Structure formats: C-alpha cells, structure tokens
Amino acid sequence: MYKKLNNLSFVIGAFFTIVSLILFANILITGRNDALSLYSASAFLIFGVVMMFTS
Amino acid sequence: MNLQAPDYLIIIVYFLFVIGVGFLIKRKIKSSNDFLSSSRNIPLWITSLAFISANLGAQEVIGMVASGAKYGIMTVHFYWVGAIFAMVFLGVFMMPFYYGSKARSVPEYLSLRFDEKTRGLNAISFAVMTVFSSGISLYALAKMLEIILKWNFDVSIWVAAGIVMVYTFLGGLTSAVYNEVLQFFLIVLGLSPLVIVALHDAGGWENVKAQLPSYMTHAWKYMGDPDANPMGLHFMSLIFGLGFVMSFGYWCTDFLVVQRAMIAKNMGDAQRTPIIAAIPKMLMPLIVVLPGVVAIALMQPALQANGYRIPVEADGQLNYTMTLPSLIAHYYPSGLLGVGITALMASFMSGMAGNVTAFNAVVTYDVYQAYFVKRRSDKHYLVFGKFVTVAGILISIATAYIAKGFNNINDFLQLVFGFVNGPLFATFLLGMFWKRTTGHGAFWGLVFGTLGAAITHGLTIAEGKGGWIAPLFPIKSGMGQAFIVAAVSWIVNFVLTIVISLATKPKPDKDLVGLVYSLTEKPKYTSAKWYQRIVPLAILLLAITIILNIIFF
C-alpha cells in the first residue's frame, strides 16, 4: 500500500474517487435531483478509478 | 455564497492530500539536489503537467476568465500566439543548452555562458519577481475568499500560505511538482462542468456569438485597427509585444517554468516536456477563456432571465476579477461548490508553490552559494534551502498585504513580466545563437533594457496606470501598455548587447561548447518513433495552433 501511495497516479486517482464518493453521498442524503452533481461525480469516479488502476 | 458540510469536507480532503504528498516525498529528500532540483529524476508526464501547472496560478485561472469577459475571445492570443510557439522553441532549440550545460538554474546557465555579474542581476531580479508573483497569488486568494465566502482575510492568507509552506518545506521541488499535477487535474476537472453548464445556459456557442458584438468573438478580425477591438491593439503590436517578446521572454527564460523541464530524466524528456505541455496549454482556453466570454453573453438582454451578473465595483464598473467566482456561486450546488472553490484554491497554491520552489533554488544556488558561502557541506545547503523556503513564504505574505489597488490581476502581472522578462529573452537569444556576445554586453543590455521598460512605463498611461514621468502617450488598455513596455525593453537590450559585445572581448570558443548553438552537437533521435521525436511533434503542434487561429479568426 505504501508503495502504491508513492505512485502519483494512484494518489490522484484516490483523491478524485473520494471526492466523487462525497458528491454521491451528498446527493443521496439531500435527495436533491441534481443532474450536474450526478454527472460530475460519475466523471470524477471514472477518472479516479482509471488513474488508480493504471498506476 | 454559503458552503455546506460536503463543501468543507472536499476542501479538507484536498488539504490532507497536498500535505500528505509532502510527507510521502519527505522520505526521499536526502540532499540539497533532491530538495531544490529533484535530482533530475521526474517522469515525462509529470514534468509536462507540472510545466503547465506552474503557470496555472492566479493570473491564469482568475485573470484569464476576467480577460475573457473584458476582451472577449481575443484573450486566446495568450495561448495560441503567446505560448505555444515559445514552448515549442524552448523544447526544440533551448533545452539542449539548459539541460546539456548541467546548470541547475537559468541564472547558473548565464554564469556559464557569460559571467557572474549577469548571473547575479538575473538571479536577484528573478527572485524579486517570484516572491512578488507569489504575494499577488496569495492576496488574490484571500481577497476572493473574503468576498465570496466572507472568510477572514488574514486567516485565509496565513492558512493558505501555511499549507503551501508545509508541503514545500517537507518535500521541496518534488513535492511542489507532484502537487502541481494533482492541482492541474483538479482545476481542469473541477471547472469543466461549469463551462458546460454555463455554455448550455447561454444557448451554445452559436447563441453566444449572436448575443455579443462581433469583436468579442473574433480573435483576429478587428486587429487591423486598434480602435476597433477591446484590447486597443494593432496586430503587429500583439505579434511582436506578446507573441515574440513577452511570450518568449516568459516561456523560454523564466526559471519557474523552465525548472520543470530541467528536472526531467534525460535530454529527450527535457526537450519533450514543453512540447507535450503545449497540448493541454492549447486547449486551456476552453476552461479559462470561454467562461469569461459566456459570462458576458449571459448578461445580455436576451439571456437576462438566467439571473447571472458579474459583480460591480463601487464606481459601477464590472469587477472582472470576480467573473469566475461569481459563475461558480451561480451554477454550482452544494458539494460541487466545494470542488469549484477547491479548484480555485489549487490554482493559487499551485502558482505560489511554483514561485517559492523556483525562489529557493535561485537564492540558494545563485545568490548564497555563488556569492556568500561557497564551499560548505551539502547538508548545509539543504538546511539553507529549507530556510529560504520559509523566508520566501513570509516575504510573499508581506507582499500580499501591499498588493492592493488593481482591478485586473492579469494586467498588473503582465506589466511586471514586461519589466523583467521583456529584455531577458534578447540576452538569451544572442547568448545562445551568437557566440560573439560577451558578458559585458549581456549585463549592460539587461540593465538598460529594464531601464527602458521603466521609462516607457513612465511615459505611457493606460487605465490610470503608468505615466509617472509624464503621461505623454495614452494607451487604451493596460495590457496594450504592457506589450509596448516589453517590446521597447527588448529592442533596447538587443541593440545595446550587440553594440557593447562588438566593443568588448568575447570568451574563447572552447569555453562555449555546449552553451552556444554553433559550437554544440545537436541531439539526434533518429531511432525514436515519429511521435517521440522532437521536430515532427513540434511541427504538428504548430500546424494545429495555426488552424485554431484560422477557425477563430
């Protein structure tokens, strides 16, 4: 895990994955029909996961 | 604008990540070279993104959106005229000298090519400029947070500066560079949804064009008459002032950006760094110019129902600097608002960390080690480099408190760059490509070039600025004034350097090998695939840039 943390793409991927999870959680908790947040969170999640897997 | 819990959570996560990167890199810092120049061990994709991200500070993000709203699509000239050509020139022609000479900084190259006095002059002027830029970034960040979030100005300054200090102090240049890459993605991905939703709200690009005066949506069409375009510039002033003098002066000689290419693993990667960086740079107007143009369109009568307004100042003028923050406040809901605010903070921190890491390298290598304490242990210079990092941050904070009174940050920074960088490119151009150039010629050319910049600024007046000698020549915009100041300083430096060089004794050829074009073996990459070779990549980029200029003519 420590080795992974030394890989910048993994760190960037982890950051965007966490941000996307916060956005998803916010949508779920508030129950708001917010397409902009939903699409943005999805894009961040895809980007984050791809960055982590390619690290 | 009120932040909710998820917004604060995203900001806290960002702070934890940038500081965490500092702690991770700290373990790898064993020497002054690790701390100040990353021991030339950074992969190409990181150096390329850091190269562009170091420039992605306050002037880029906030300033370019402001300029997009103020000047329209003409602002793309800062990219498609004022960046790509110079970045390609740096990669193809200049990196072999910077990297091949084994210099650790741009001033050190000047010492190898010319002499110590030229190095000292450049090092000191650069150090002053970097902390000033860093202070401007910090001031702008704190001001923005004060206006849009009602955060305390002083607390914002000290918290933002404190975080940058922690990660640059722990991990030095590598930590700053790694965070710059994270900040690059955050800025691009964090602001992309804003561009899409604002453009959608404005009815698409065709409707934006229909709503705005034609001069706001054409890059070149109205450049033949200075009175017909909002920048008040003739295209020749733009091409020479921005496209040649300021652009090449900044991208090819400013250690802040060149440093990111100098830490690449090998010569090929060092040359490719600015060329690869030119690809996202070319597309950056989509993120930082387009929102400004769309913001002005959204204020037109036909689109007023959307409710968006650029804030106004006390005198009733539009406060262009607030264009981007006000767009974020208008369009981003809770959660995404945190992403937008964090992206803005990232842009300021990225600019500040870039300035501080360039400042500490120049002060340590080119001032302290060169003139004061020459032969001490490596640990001594590592400790001093860390001390300068803290000092640089503290000076930036002091600068931030005096950097008030300008309604467009970008105009002001361009003016500062014009004073310092304008004449500098003439020195490098002659130094690298004319072996007859001497140290005396370079030094006095720089001195009088900078003096020429100051006098020109003192004799011209634009938007109430300048004219401190006598306001003899009024100019329509501050940006136009900056181009003219830079152009005059370049010409003064170029002519004087040639004249003085011809009257003084040059260095022997054997001392100039690896430093001057005609005496240096050119790197060859015949075995690499075409997309890895420098010249084909450069030609492709230039062709695309010309096509973009034609499309938005």
> Given this model, what pLDDT does residue B237 score?
85
Q: Give Cα B454 distance to the centre of its chain.
A: 21
Closest CA relative to residue B433, chosen from B274, B181, B252, B222: B252
d(CA B462, CA B321): 18
Asked if residues B282 and B79 have their Cβ atoms less than 8 Å apart, the reply is yes
Is A24 an 8 Å CB contact of chain B? no
By CB atoms closer than 10 A (0-12, 13-18, 19+), residue A53 is: exposed
**Beta-carbon count within 10 A of B266 CB:** 12
| Cβ-defined contact of A8 to B46 (cutoff 8 Å) | yes
pLDDT, tens only, B438-481: 999 999 999 999 899 989 999 999 878 888 888 888 887 777 88
| Cβ-defined contact of A47 to B24 (cutoff 8 Å) | no
| Cβ-defined contact of B336 to A8 (cutoff 8 Å) | no
Tokens linked to B462: 């634009």
d(CA B478, CA B413): 10
Is A26 an 8 Å CB contact of chain B? yes
> Given this model, what pLDDT does residue A18 score?
97
pLDDT score of A12 more than 80: yes
pLDDT score of B533 more than 90: no
- What pTM does this model have? 0.90
Give the ipTM.
0.95
Give the C-alpha distances (Å, rounded to integers) separating B262 from A24, B51, B259, B275, B330: 41, 10, 5, 14, 41
Closest-CA residue of chain B to A44: B189
H helix intervals, B101-152: 106-113, 116-149
pLDDT band, residue B275 (cuts 50/70/90)? very high
d(CA B36, CA B361): 5
| Cβ-defined contact of A26 to B335 (cutoff 8 Å) | yes
> Given this model, what pLDDT does residue B491 score?
94
List, in order, residues 6 or more apart from B169 with CB less than 8 Å away. B22, B386, B389, B390
What average pLDDT does chain A have? 90
| Cβ-defined contact of B185 to A32 (cutoff 8 Å) | no
With tokens 């604002």, the residue in question is B198
Tokens linked to B127: 């150090």
Tokens linked to B58: 């306050």
Nearest to A19 among B13, B20, B197 (CB): B13
> Given this model, what pLDDT does residue B411 score?
58
pLDDT, tens only, A17-30: 999 999 999 999 98
Closest CA relative to residue B436, chosen from B329, B516, B549: B516
> Per DSSP, what are the bridge partners of residue B460?
B473
pLDDT score of B225 more than 90: no
% helix, strand, coil for chain A, step of 5: 85, 0, 15
What average pLDDT does chain B have? 89
d(CA B56, CA B15): 18
Poorest-confidence range of B10-14, B25-29, B385-389?
Answer: B25-29
